[in-house]
Amino acid sequence: QELLGKAREVSLFYIQLKDLNLRERLTDRVERQWKDLAISGTSDYANNQAFNETMAAYVWVIAGLAIILGGVGMMNAQLMAVFERTREIGVLRAVGWSSRQVMLMILEETLLVSMAGGVIGVILGWLALSAVSSFTVIFGASTSSITPALIGQAFIVVIILGLVGGLYPAWRASRLQPVEALRYEGGSSGENVRRLPFGGMALQSLWQRTTRTALTLGVIGLTVGAIMALEAVLGGAAQSLTQMAFGSDAQILIRQADISDTSYSAIDEQIGKRIAAMPEVTSVSGIIFTAILLPDTGGFFIIQGYSPQEYAIHTFHIVSGETLTQNHQIILGKMMAETMHKEAGDTVVLNGIRYRVVGIYESNVGWEEMGGVMTMRDAQAFIGRPRKVTMYAVRLKNPGQAPALVERINQEMPEAHAALSGEFVDQMPDMQNSYGMMAGISFLAIVVGGLGVMNTMLMAVFERTREIGVLRAVGWRRRAILRQILQESLVLALLGGVAGIIIAFGLVFLMGMAPMVGEAFRPVWSAGVFIRALLVAVSLGLFGGVYPAYRATRLQPVEALRYE
């Protein structure tokens, strides 16, 4: 309680009943008498936590990305398998196999590969948890967390992946005509060759194999697009927080030191008074913010606490009514007022407490309109932290003294963490955690996408074995073959990067269509986002092209020329 600044308050109560039959009666009485409390059985408690729902959403976003990328990669691999076995399929059709039997055979193979990948994935997950739990504990994660239900979910994912990746190749295999399949000799026969009026061998080679190229472009585009969209949204969130700081004309922002999340920050008001007494300081404004779930809509309501007498509250532009003057009043963000259908003069009830709406405000920071502003004392009482604030915004007489004052505050007040306004957001543990999660998702996407590119280029080398043999026979050196395959891989990656940029804009547009969320978190498309996107695309090209290029250089001319 002392550490969190919540005197005489607890997070939850465990209740043991005298008689289990009294559970329903107790639940009814508690819900009727204390409307701001939530009561449930211990078995239901975990499922009712917003945190669990948020984490589950993250997991399924990652799983969805894996299904899409893995499914397209699987489809590419199975298409290449069908291509490689064209004659075999022709023989099966010639001896009496029906289109349906061929289709089922390819689907069964795809599902077997997926199930084998699922088994490997479970083993890798177990090994990863064993390694992590041996030196740290993250939310109690251990190998005991791998339950039969969790394994069942994993195999549902791989079955979906197998179906997504296998249906089209199986259908295409079933459409092969026996006579055409039997006389197939691999590669291009020279008939119906489509050539671009521009571009060298690399671009022409990709153009000749449109299906495989399109699938690989999809893998790269989805990988780059997902990473770009995440980075742009995170950049928008960081910019919004920075605008909040600069909107109050503060040169320094201060939060509690050594916290894992900014919402846990609780700075004693005595620290604010000590900082205000420093000769360099013009004003110190305390700020409180937290979020609650509205029972009617299920959406977030962001509560902000400001003192009506302090400078920082002037950042809110009142468009209707007036600003705060006393306790038990609230001003609503325009976005939230429209959602709740409230105007100046109405009342709102938050956790059973009534507040009179005295004004409606607009803000340059989107998420600040997703809630309301109440007085500092009301906010402290609401969150149960008397005489505590989340952060302080400090204005100086001479902004040039800010760096020296930041260092002085951090040395003299170890319980507080001060930072320049422009650096505060990057030092927030929330943003650092978000960047870490984005890096993890990006790494996973690059590995899966890179394997897809590698598979495509390996199949290209396999298909063009005779062509490579001819090139070696007429004098091409291994270095030239290596350069040719790498060039194709990089051209494919760069085209995929361009597709990824388009996909990223599409993903952000779809996100922006979500009520409130789209208006609150506007993406930031900086030059760095596009540069990193192209770097990711090039990394995918190199990751996927190096081994196939090396393998192509190992082909011996004579063996390659007599390859059937």
In the block, residue with structure tokens 């969130």: 237
The CA R_g of the chain, rounded to the nearest whole Å, is 31
How far apart are alpha carbons 416 and 436 in whole angstroms?
A: 24
Burial degree of 450 (CB within 10 A; 0-12, 13-18, 19+): buried
What is the reported pLDDT for 189? 41
| 354 phi and psi angles, rounded to 5 deg | -95, 135
In whole angstroms, what is the distance from residue 173 CA to residue 506 CA?
33
Residue type, 198: F
As given in the structure block, the two tokens for residue 91 are: 């023989």
DSSP 8-state symbol, 315: G
Pairing between β-strand 300-306 and β-strand 371-375 as defined by DSSP bridges? parallel
Q: In the chain, helix, strand, coil percent, each to 5?
A: 65, 10, 25
The one-letter amino acid code at 401 reads Q
Alpha-carbon distance of 132 to 110, in angstroms, equals 32
Q: How far apart are CA 49 and CA 542, in angstroms?
A: 43
Cα–chain center distance at 267: 31
The per-residue pLDDT for range 497-524, each reduced to its tens digit, is 888 899 889 888 887 776 655 565 678 8
- What pLDDT does residue 191 have? 46
Cα dist. 133→20, 144, 147 in Å? Answer: 37, 11, 16
> What is the structure's pLDDT at 298?
59
Residue from 286, 282, 277, 334 nearest 312 by CA: 286
- Cβ(508)–Cβ(414) below 8 Å: no
Strand ranges, E, within 351-427? 353-362, 371-375, 388-389, 391-396, 416-420
- CA proximity to 451, closest of 36, 44, 40, 165: 165
* C-alpha of 253 from chain center: 28
Burial of residue 191 (number of CB atoms within 10 Å: 0-12, 13-18, 19+): exposed
| Residue 334: half-sphere exposure toward Cβ, Cα within 13 Å | 13
Pairwise CA distance, residues 156 & 365, whole Å: 41
- Contact of 272 with 393, CB cutoff 8 Å: no
* DSSP secondary structure code for residue 7 in this structure: T
**How much is the pLDDT for 347?**
92
How far is the CA of 208 from the CAs of 187, 213, 479, in angstroms?
A: 10, 9, 24
Alpha helices in 46-142 (DSSP H): 50-84, 86-94, 99-135
H/E stretch holding 157 reads helix 148-174
| CA 378 – CA 304 distance, rounded (Å) | 10
Angle subtended at Cα 11 by Cα 9 and Cα 16, rounded to the nearest 5 degrees: 105
Partner residues linked to 261 by β-bridges: none
Eight-state DSSP code of residue 22 = G
Nearest to residue 452, comparing CAs of 492, 506, 484? Answer: 492
Give the residue carrying structure tokens 């760096």.
Answer: 403
pTM score? 0.68
**pLDDT tens for each residue of the chain, 564 residues long:** 877 667 788 888 989 889 888 888 898 898 888 877 778 776 555 545 555 565 666 677 767 777 777 777 777 778 777 877 888 888 888 888 888 898 888 888 888 888 888 899 888 888 888 877 666 555 556 667 778 888 888 888 888 888 878 888 888 888 888 877 777 655 544 445 566 666 666 666 667 667 667 777 877 888 888 888 888 888 887 777 777 666 667 889 999 988 877 877 889 999 999 999 999 999 899 999 888 877 666 577 889 999 998 888 888 899 999 999 999 999 999 988 988 889 999 999 887 789 999 999 988 777 788 889 999 999 998 888 888 999 999 999 998 999 999 999 999 999 999 999 888 888 888 788 778 877 877 787 777 777 777 877 777 777 778 788 888 888 888 888 888 888 888 888 888 888 889 988 988 888 777 665 556 567 888 888 888 888 888 888 888 888 888 888 887 777 767 665
Pair of tokens at residue 291: 């979020």
Q: Which of 244, 267, 245, 222 is CA-nearest to residue 416?
A: 267
- 3-class secondary structure, 260: coil
The Cα-based distances of 215 to 79, 211, 288, 496 in angstroms read 10, 6, 50, 10
The amino acid present at 132, given as its one-letter code, is V
Q: Using CB atoms within 10 Å of the CB of residue 96, give its burial: 0 to 12 exposed, 13 to 18 middle, 19+ buried.
A: exposed
Both tokens assigned to 231: 């980075």
Helix (H, G, I), strand (E, B) or coil at 297: coil
Number of residues assigned to the chain: 564
